[in-house]
Chain A
Amino acid sequence: MLLPHPPQARSRRCPASYIRFRARGQVHGGAQPEVGGAAMLLALSRCWAPLSRRPLPLLVPARGRKSRHDPPAKSKAGRLKVPPPVDPAELLVVSERYRQYRLVLQALRMEFKQEVMRKHREERLDKESGAEAMEEHLKLMAWNSAENERLRKKREERLRREEEELQDRKLQGALNRAKLMEDFLKQKEREVLQLQEEARNFITPENLDERIKECLDNPRNYNFAIDKEGRVVKRSVPS
């Protein structure tokens, strides 16, 4: 009897497709008949490894070595791809089952859609007119009136201050006007007094003779020079 090879050495030696091809035929790694050959060797070697370490058999063909552009093998030259056979009775039964299934599914979908719409609508309504919406509304109204009160107070304060200022200005204006009037009156009075003073020295028809006599009696010499300040130049004073 040949010694079995350890599984690691086998996988390193044999290519992947070879293993896959073999795995299709021999699924169970159980006791094999004592017939010589590499197949038996492989099977025996497979028996050796524990179940957890045995490679799982791949029961479907997979594109391992070839890409989609490689030509098919010569062994597949006369291959005729045949679709799986269909049992018409079973097909009928299955079609009927599908029809009923789809009906039920459609009904369920409608039901769930309605539920979702109902939930949305209720949410919307609650948001617009629910207990929370009401209290939020009241809160906002209270805040609004508080703001209005505050602004009203400010406005009134401002108006009051402006009124006061206006009154002050009016008072000031009146005072100014009074002062101006007073000054004017004083000025006029002064002028009147001045005139009265001057009028004392006027020449009237009663004073005429006396004044003429006076002027003729006192001849005055105005023949002197005067500088810009109004001082008399002494050397030019006549004797």
Chain B
Amino acid sequence: MVHLAHLLMKNYHGGHVAIRLALGGCANRPFFRIVVAYNKRARDSKYLEQVGCYDPLPNGHNEKLVGLNIERLKHWIGCGAHITKPVEKLLGLSGFFPLHPMTITNAERLRKRRALKAITASEEETPGD
């Protein structure tokens, strides 16, 4: 017997729900909303629910602000929503998820590069003296 009732009642076929960043704001002033939307929808178009926001430009105290609705996030992840990499990184930094591997890797790489630059700078200084 072919079970078609579920497929017939489904609103959206072959896609999935995603938690991702939707860009808003003005020219030279981005602002992201952390949004639960269907996968195939446009980035800024109709979403199911807004679950947070993220301001990429640092404020007066040199902080980048992120707002999260943890309750609803848990609900949607429990319902099987996919999460995009930037949102995963943000959640990792916030402490809700473990730190993303690439965050740690990039931080390590930056540290190594800075150390190398410091070494080369000090090497250039000592022959200069």
Interface positions of A (Cβ within 8 A of B): 56, 90, 93-94, 97-98, 100-101, 104-105, 108-109, 112-117
Contact = CB atoms under 8 A, between A and B. Distances in A.
Contact of A116 (B28, B79, B105): B79
Contacts of B78: 109, 112-117
Interface in B94-111: 97-98, 100-102, 104-105
B101 A113 contact: no
A116 B75 contact: yes
Interface string B73-117: 011011110000000000000000110111011000000000000
Contacts of A100: 98
B77 A112 contact: yes
Interface in B34-68: none
Contact of B105 (A90, A108, A114, A115): A90
B74 A115 contact: yes
For chain B, give the interface size range. 10 to 19
Contact of B80 (A56, A93, A113): A113
A114 B97 CA distance: 17
B81 to A, nearest CB: 10
Contacts of A94: 101-102, 105
B80 A104 contact: no
Contacts of A104: 97-98
Contacts of A98: 101
Contacts, number: 38
Given A94-B105, A97-B105, A105 B75 contact: no
Contacts of B98: 100-101, 104-105
A101 B101 contact: yes
Contacts of B100: 101
A113 B75 CA distance: 8
A108 B78 CA distance: 9
Contacts of B28: 56
B74 A97 contact: no
Contact of A108 (B75, B80, B97): B97
A117 B79 CA distance: 9
B78 to A, nearest CB: 3
Contacts of A108: 77, 97
Contact of A97 (B77, B97, B101): B101
A183 B77 CA distance: 100
27 contacts: A56-B28, A93-B105, A94-B101, A94-B102, A94-B105, A97-B105, A98-B101, A100-B98, A101-B98, A101-B101, A104-B98, A108-B77, A108-B97, A109-B77, A109-B78, A112-B74, A112-B78, A113-B77, A113-B78, A113-B79, A113-B80, A114-B78, A116-B74, A116-B75, A116-B78, A116-B79, A117-B78
A112 B102 CA distance: 24
Contacts of B97: 104-105, 108
Contacts of B79: 113, 116
Contacts of B74: 112, 115-116
Contacts of A56: 28
Residue from B80, B97, B101 with most neighbouring chain A CB atoms (10 Å): B101
A83 B77 CA distance: 35
A168 B53 CA distance: 86
Given A100-B98, A104-B98, 19 more contacts: A94-B105, A97-B105, A98-B101, A101-B100, A101-B101, A104-B97, A105-B97, A105-B98, A108-B97, A109-B77, A109-B78, A112-B74, A112-B77, A112-B78, A113-B80, A114-B78, A116-B74, A116-B75, A117-B78
